[in-house]
Amino acid sequence: MADEELIVDEARSGMEKSLDSLARDFAKVRTGRAHPALLEAIQVDYFGTPTPLKSLATLNAPEARLLTIQPFDPGAISQIERAILKSDLGLSPISDGKILRVPVPELTEERRRDLVKQARKLAEEHKLGVRSSRRDAISMLKELEKTGETSKDDSRRAQKSVQDLTDEYVKKIDASAGAKEAEILTI
């Protein structure tokens, strides 16, 4: 019975990682408000090396519609500005030589619909991660049953536990996606 519990716990851990990853990905999806996570994934060409923006500068959101970027190296401002302009975020930074200010414009209805589609796609990708954890766990349980290391009843009970976990995490992902959609659509 201990092997089955380990497999179920491993599946739970994998599903929890998918849910945590979804939360991090949702933080990067732009809503109407300024949030430093919007810019964290941007890669800046810093001396020929792609470097994450958060490694080159301090990111802040002093107002609901403004992000500020204060580079550790003031000479990197032009590269940071170029990287933001190249990103698909639709943001235009304003430089004063020491700090970049990035106004976050209101979202149009069309852009909101695109972001909702993006959020749904992210949720679906993370549901695949949950289902992958389920598939791996069930195949391990069937292998234990096949080799005789566990009884058929124990294997079936553990498989039901894994399925129940899957249903629970898919509901959590759906709830998180619904909340993100509502946040995006709130004007």
Do residues 130 and 97 lie in contact, with contact meaning Cβ atoms separated by under 8 Å?
A: no
pTM of the complete model beyond 0.75: no
Q: Class for domain 37-103, per CATH?
A: alpha beta
Which structure tokens are listed for 137? 């766990």
Question: Computed from CA positions of residues 16, 18, 20, 26, in that sequence, does the dihedral angle turn out positive or negative?
Answer: negative
Q: Is the pLDDT of residue 89 over 80?
A: no
Q: What is the pLDDT of residue 27?
A: 78
Domain range summary for the chain, segments of one domain joined by +: 2-28+108-185, 37-103
Q: What is the pLDDT of residues 91-149, one digit of tens each?
A: 888 888 888 898 887 778 888 888 889 899 999 999 999 999 999 999 999 998 888 88
Domain 2-28+108-185 is classified in which CATH homologous superfamily?
Answer: Ribosome-recycling factor (1.10.132.20)
Backbone angles phi, psi at 134, to 5 degrees: -65, -50
Q: Is the pLDDT of residue 88 over 80?
A: no
Is residue 54 very low, low, confident or very high in pLDDT (cuts 50, 70, 90)?
Answer: confident
For residue 141, the tally of other CB atoms under 10 A from its CB is: 24
In angstroms, what CA-CA distances link 161 with 14, 30, 39? 14, 36, 40
Does 1 score more than 70 pLDDT? Answer: no
**Predicted pLDDT at 13:** 93
pLDDT for 181 beyond 80: yes
Topology match between the domains 2-28+108-185 and 37-103: no
